[in-house]
Amino acid sequence: MALGFGGCVRFDGVQSALAPVSPEADHVFSLSWIMFWGSVAILVLVMVLGFYAVFGRRRPALDGNKMVIAGGVLLPLLALPPLLVYALALGDGLRAPPPEGALRIEVTGHQWWWEVRYRFPDAGDDFTTANEIHLPVGQAVEVLVTSNDVIHSFWVPRLAGKIDAMPGHANRLTLKAEEAGEFRGQCAEFCGAQHTHMAFVVVAKPQEAFEAWAAGQRKPARQPSSTEARRGLAAFLSQGCVECHTVRGTPASGRIGPDLTHVGSRRTLAAGTLDNNSATLAALIRDYQEFKPGADMPSHKDAFDQPTAESIAAYLEELQ
């Protein structure tokens, strides 16, 4: 309570389980409150009895087996099974399959970023992105969550409960945003040094805007338009970035790091940790380890100079 009143617990905000915007998150929210108030009621009862036992005038009334049977056997029998049944019923609702023909998104956790693959009825429409998930508002979307290395956990508190991302196995989750907006997701299972910096953004928008976004993401990367960006592309292709990153429409087809085909359109960099702007982008390219020590993206401080990093950033920024 002290934390709550002190403002440490946010009741709104992009990552608050206390501000649900989907039926699933709403279930989790109701369950939490019912469990919370149930516990409060039991705590109050126990405290009252405790005080009475110590200070009450007719304390002997609490003596004897009756009290033990009432408080120790009957009360738990009456209080716990209904809560259990309620929780199990809600849990079943959370696992309900999405409707036939729902949009499918495959999310793969990597140390320490998220790969996001969109699957459409026509495989030619599929595309891959990273660290950002866009959803059409009001539609149930099937999300298949897996991992490339260790166990991660996929959690967008305003939209759904947590689900484990396990190597070699896909867990299913339904996301249905009932409001447009931007929500934050976070890896919720300690997965190594940069676990904290393994976040992502979920953007829910009206169907048309979603279609327009998907059409943009489906396209190969645009050609660089300025001299600086052209220099950037040349450096990008010659500095080994292509070993790990894909930029569709160029020879870069690496799969170790995030797909960068439309990295310029994303809100954040380095898995939801930094705002996406040219200065940050250049700084990251130059010295990723400074921001995310231990990540699979090497530092390039010794490989090239700041102007080169800036030209690569200028190129990547154009990849809207």
- Given the rule CB under 6 A, which residues bind ligand HEC? 112-113, 130-131, 194, 236, 239-241, 243-245, 256-258, 260, 263, 266, 269-271, 281, 284-285, 292, 295-298, 300, 312, 316
CB of residue 198 to Cu ion, shortest distance in Å: 4
Strand (E) or helix (H) holding 199: strand 199-205
Complete DSSP assignment for 248-278: TTSS-B--SS---TTGGG-SEETTTTEE--H
Characterize the bridge pairing of strands 199-205 and 132-136: parallel
Q: State yes or no: residue 187 binds Cu ion (CB under 5 A).
A: yes
Q: State yes or no: residue 199 binds Cu ion (CB under 5 A).
A: no
User: 20 or 258: whose CB is closer to ligand HEC?
Assistant: 258
- Cα 91 from Cα 161, distance rounded (Å): 10
CB of residue 197 to Cu ion, shortest distance in Å: 9
Per CB under 5 A, contacts with Cu ion among 213-252 are none
Among 103, 156, 198, 247, binds Cu ion (CB under 5 A): 198
- Cα 238 from Cα 254, distance rounded (Å): 14
Residue 52 has what DSSP assignment? Answer: H
Residue 152 interacting partner from Cu ion, ligand HEC, none (CB closer than 5 to 8 Å by kind): Cu ion
Interhelix angle 75-94/23-55, nearest 10 degrees:
170
Residue among 161, 159, 162, 163 at smallest CA distance from 137? 159
Alpha helices in the chain (DSSP H): 2-5, 23-55, 65-67, 75-94, 207-218, 227-238, 278-286, 288-291, 306-318
Per CB under 5 A, contacts with Cu ion among 112-171 are 152
CB of residue 215 to ligand HEC, shortest distance in Å: 20
CB of residue 243 to ligand HEC, shortest distance in Å: 5
Residue among 234, 224, 306, 302 at smallest CA distance from 264? 224
Q: State yes or no: residue 197 binds Cu ion (CB under 5 A).
A: no
CB of residue 295 to Cu ion, shortest distance in Å: 12
Q: State yes or no: residue 295 binds Cu ion (CB under 5 A).
A: no
User: 22 or 146: whose CB is closer to ligand HEC?
Assistant: 146
CB of residue 300 to ligand HEC, shortest distance in Å: 5
CB of residue 148 to ligand HEC, shortest distance in Å: 10
Residue 191 interacting partner from Cu ion, ligand HEC, none (CB closer than 5 to 8 Å by kind): Cu ion
Residue 271 interacting partner from Cu ion, ligand HEC, none (CB closer than 5 to 8 Å by kind): ligand HEC
Residue 74 has what DSSP assignment? Answer: I
Residue 187 interacting partner from Cu ion, ligand HEC, none (CB closer than 5 to 8 Å by kind): Cu ion
CB count, 10 Å around CB of 136? 21
